[in-house]
Amino acid sequence: MNYCSHGGIVNCAQMVVETITHFWPDSIDVLEDEQGLVDGPKPIFFRGWKDGVIHYKQFLFGKV
């Protein structure tokens, strides 16, 4: 049971582990699947900035 992340994050991480073990079977230890204590939204993956979008540096450091 994963008490730190919700089900959406845990399921995403599990998919990454399954992909790694599929392509590189001996690269990591295989453990039991984790479960999140609570359900949650599916993660959103960042694919890059579009024109006119505020960059992350502005949130971290103020006006850039």
Over 60: is that where the pLDDT of 64 sits? Answer: no
Please report the sign of the dihedral spanned by the C-alpha atoms of residue 20, residue 22, residue 28, residue 31.
Answer: positive
Sign of CA dihedral 35, 38, 42, 48: negative
Is 63 inside a domain boundary?
no
pLDDT in tens, 10-36: 888 899 999 999 999 999 988 888 888
**Residue 59 included in any domain:** no
Mean local confidence (pLDDT), 29-57: 76
**CA atoms of 22 and 7, how far apart (whole Å):** 22
**Is the pTM for the entire model greater than 0.75?**
no
- Whether 63 shows a pLDDT value over 80: the answer reads no
Q: What's the total number of domains in the chain?
A: 1
Residue 3 belongs to some domain of the structure? yes
In a domain, 60, yes or no: no
**Residue 16 resides in a domain:** yes
